[in-house]
């Protein structure tokens, strides 16, 4: 290719991503394959960096970067996380994913990654539960109704077909709307709780996806059922320091993004105080998916899975969307050079 030849990139906007309608299984397979590549050391993941325009309590940008070698793609995603966006009728998280050829640096695609961010977060939550929760888990307790919450519940229910789904969030209007959407899409009753304890206590799987302006231990360790899986991933910690004391296995998505010296995260204080460290960390999820380390080994285990968000899962879903778009003739070709 000479410099005079035009180079085009593919652009998928939000309407295109919605029209492509990745199925639950397409989402889970794409992300699990990328996790397997991570476990087999076929990825490059750099810890996210942050841009804080004014005040972290109001919001910030996350910048995620990575390479998934089996897919032949590098990616950089910029996602805004602004807690008060609902007051303006906007999603709290909006994102753009840029994909590149890792051999040449040539841009390949630009995608609206707002829905991708929600889907891939739910997929990581569900895949973590697939490997770390009891197979017969029947009660889900989910705190938070943010954009990613829908896909947490939807994909978890796809794998476990829960007998009972409980949800809670700070604002009544958000939790009621969340429950209505889930009931319509899942075809089952969703129980809205008035407080954290009634949502969490006795649940087989607990997901904490709250949006707190500052760390506050609202989820109490004593509420966690023996044998449960706890998945906390709020930007600000909502769990007690004692949570890690009751865990048999602690797993993360990427230790590089969880280690000391980085801001934010549900277990940031646990890492900084050495309650979670490289010595007592059981595995990264990719190592379990790749069969290099075991997942749950007994119903008696009480396990924890902390995920910060992986660039590789964004890249994997971007790849799946591009492949589906090419077959369906969806998207725009933009001249780059």
244 and 159 part of one domain: yes
What CATH number should be reported for the domain holding residue 128? 3.40.50.720
Query: What is the overall mean pLDDT for the chain?
Result: 94
CA angle centred on 42, ends 40 and 44, rounded to 5°:
125
Residues 133-154: what's their mean pLDDT? Answer: 94
85 and 187 part of one domain: no
Burial zone of 275 (CB within 10 Å; 0-12 exposed, 13-18 middle, 19+ buried)? middle
pLDDT for the residue numbered 81: 86
State which residues form the domain around 299. Answer: 118-308
CA angle centred on 213, ends 271 and 311, rounded to 5°:
55
Question: Rg (Cα) of the chain, in Å, rounded?
Answer: 19
205 and 265 part of one domain: yes
What CATH number should be reported for the domain holding residue 331? 3.30.1780.10
pLDDT of 180 above 60: yes
Question: From the DSSP assignment, how many helices (H) and strands (E) are in the chain?
Answer: 9, 15
157 and 278 part of one domain: yes
pLDDT tens for each residue of 311-337: 999 999 999 999 999 999 999 999 998
214 and 253 part of one domain: yes
42 and 53 part of one domain: yes
267 and 329 part of one domain: no
Quote the pTM value: 0.93
Q: Of 74, 29, 62, 20, whose CA–CA distance to 330 is shortest?
A: 20
Q: Is 2 a member of any domain?
A: no
Q: Of 143, 150, 183, whose CA–CA distance to 167 is shortest?
A: 143
pLDDT of 156 above 70: yes
124 and 112 part of one domain: no
pLDDT tens for each residue of 220-252: 999 999 999 999 987 788 999 999 999 999 999
Q: How many domains does the chain have?
A: 2
196 and 283 part of one domain: yes
193 and 301 part of one domain: yes
Q: Of 326, 319, 321, 305, whose CA–CA distance to 121 is shortest?
A: 305
Residue 3 confidence class, pLDDT cut points 50, 70, 90: low
Q: Please state, in angstroms and rounded to a whole number, the distance separating the CA atoms of residues 12 and 171.
A: 33
Q: Is 188 a member of any domain?
A: yes
């Amino acid at each position: 290719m000479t410099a005079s030849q035009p180079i085009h990139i593919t652009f998928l906007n939000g309407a295109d991503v919605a029209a492509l309608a990745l199925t639950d299984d397409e989402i889970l397979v794409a992300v699990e394959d990328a996790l397997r590549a991570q476990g087999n050391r076929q990825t490059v993941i750099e810890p996210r960096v942050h841009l804080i325009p004014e005040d972290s309590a109001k919001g910030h940008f996350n910048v995620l970067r990575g390479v998934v070698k089996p897919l032949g793609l590098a990616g950089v995603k910029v996602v805004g996380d602004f807690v008060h966006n609902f007051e303006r009728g906007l999603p709290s998280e909006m994102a753009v994913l840029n994909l590149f050829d890792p051999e040449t640096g040539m841009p390949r695609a630009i995608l609206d990654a707002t829905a991708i961010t929600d889907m891939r977060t739910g997929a990581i939550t569900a895949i973590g539960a697939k490997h770390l929760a009891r197979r017969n888990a029947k009660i889900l307790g989910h705190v938070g109704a943010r954009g990613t919450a829908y896909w947490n519940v939807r994909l978890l229910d796809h794998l476990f077909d829960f007998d009972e789904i409980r949800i809670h969030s700070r604002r009544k209007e958000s939790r009621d709307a969340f429950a209505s959407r889930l009931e319509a899409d899942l075809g089952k009753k969703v129980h809205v709780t008035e407080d954290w304890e009634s949502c969490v206590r006795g649940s087989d799987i607990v997901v904490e996806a709250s949006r707190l302006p500052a760390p506050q231990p609202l989820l109490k360790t004593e509420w966690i059922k023996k044998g449960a899986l706890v998945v906390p991933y709020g930007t600000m910690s909502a769990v007690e320091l004692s949570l890690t004391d009751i865990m048999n296995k602690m797993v993360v998505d990427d230790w590089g993004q969880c280690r000391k010296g980085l801001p934010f995260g549900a277990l940031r204080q646990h890492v900084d105080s050495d309650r979670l460290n490289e010595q007592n960390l059981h595995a990264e999820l990719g190592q379990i998916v790749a069969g290099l380390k075991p997942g749950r080994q007994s119903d008696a285990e009480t396990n924890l899975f902390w995920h910060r968000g992986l660039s590789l899962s964004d890249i994997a879903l971007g790849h799946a969307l591009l492949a589906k778009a090419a077959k369906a003739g969806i998207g725009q070709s933009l001249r780059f050079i």
